[in-house]
Amino acid sequence: MYVLIGGAGLVGLNLAQELVRLGHTIAIIDTDINACRYARQQVGVMAFEGSAVSTEVLLEAGIRKADAVAAMLRDDALNLAMVTLAKHYQVPHIVARMRHRDFEGPLRLAGAHHIISTVDLAVSTMVTAIEYPQVESMMHYEQGKVEIFKLTIPPESHVAGRSLALVSQDVRFPNGSLIIGYQPHPHTDLVVPDPSTILEAGSSILVVTHSDLLHQVLDYLGFCSTETVQK
């Protein structure tokens, strides 16, 4: 895909680097000459000096042929303008970074297909890491409304030694939550479990749940928050 990124800040450059690694063709726009030079020399992408909300610069960068646009500018209002222009040029897929929640509605109206609130996601991840340090990794989807996390099953967990079928039928397991991955040992591959899979203590599981059910799921799985431990 040809992806056009607005903003050569830390987020924009890291996004460009990862997309290049995945084999995509990337162009990045920024007003900072040094940032553009770094993007060309260190990241290996095309870089255009100028404003990402300038039609002249956007056309020069090839917005008409872009398969996707990522508005990663430092200002929400500028991201909103870039999304509007990307929609005008009929870009098939538009992603926007958002700092303040007040811009979520305008960004959607302007045509953003995905809106990433970097502050909200960072705060949510850090809160979980502080309250539940046993969680090994976590991913957020749908603006933090859906969480996917990996953890090791403790011996006292309600799921330890039980089949996935029994766990899914347990009324204590929050409705709308699913165990979607199972890793028997650290050096084995993560697999998709079937109903007969026995979830052994010490193995790892991958769980998907709604964000408002996260603590209920973790409590069911045998984890106490640091606040509960202190009490």
SS3 sequence, 126-183?
Answer: HHHHHHCCCCCEEEEECCCCEEEEEEECCCCCCCCCEEHHHHHHCCCCCCCCEEEEEE
Nearest C-alpha neighbor of 71 from the set 3, 2, 5: 5
- Give the residue ranges of DSSP H helices in 55-117: 55-60, 76-88, 104-110
CA atoms within 13 A on the CB side of 49: 8
* Nearest in space to 93 (alpha carbons), one of 111, 81, 105: 111
Residue 121: in which H helix or E strand, if any?
helix 118-131
For domain 2-112, give the fold. Answer: Rossmann fold (3.40.50)
Q: What is the pLDDT along the chain (231 residues), one digit of tens a residue?
A: 999 999 999 889 999 999 999 999 999 999 999 999 999 999 999 999 999 999 999 999 999 999 999 999 999 999 999 999 999 999 999 999 998 889 999 999 999 999 888 776 666 666 666 666 767 766 766 656 788 888 899 888 888 999 999 998 999 898 889 999 999 988 889 899 999 999 999 999 999 988 888 888 888 888 754 444 344
Identify the three-state secondary structure at position 11. Answer: helix
Distances (CA, A) of 204 to 30, 170, 185, 188: 43, 19, 7, 10
Provide the pLDDT for residue 227: 45
The residue extents of the domains of the chain are 2-112, 123-230
Instruction: Look up residue 151 and give its two tokens.
Output: 């953890």
Separation between Cα atoms, residue 35 and residue 10, nearest integer Å: 10
Cα–Cα distance between 73 and 7 in angstroms, integer? 5
Provide the token pair at 185. 């040992």
The confidence score (pLDDT) of residue 229 equals: 35
CATH number for the domain formed by residue range(s) 123-230: 3.30.70.1450
Q: Residue 146's pLDDT is what?
A: 81
Q: What is the pLDDT at residue 144?
A: 61
Nearest residue to 128 (alpha-carbon basis) of 227, 8, 22, 39: 227
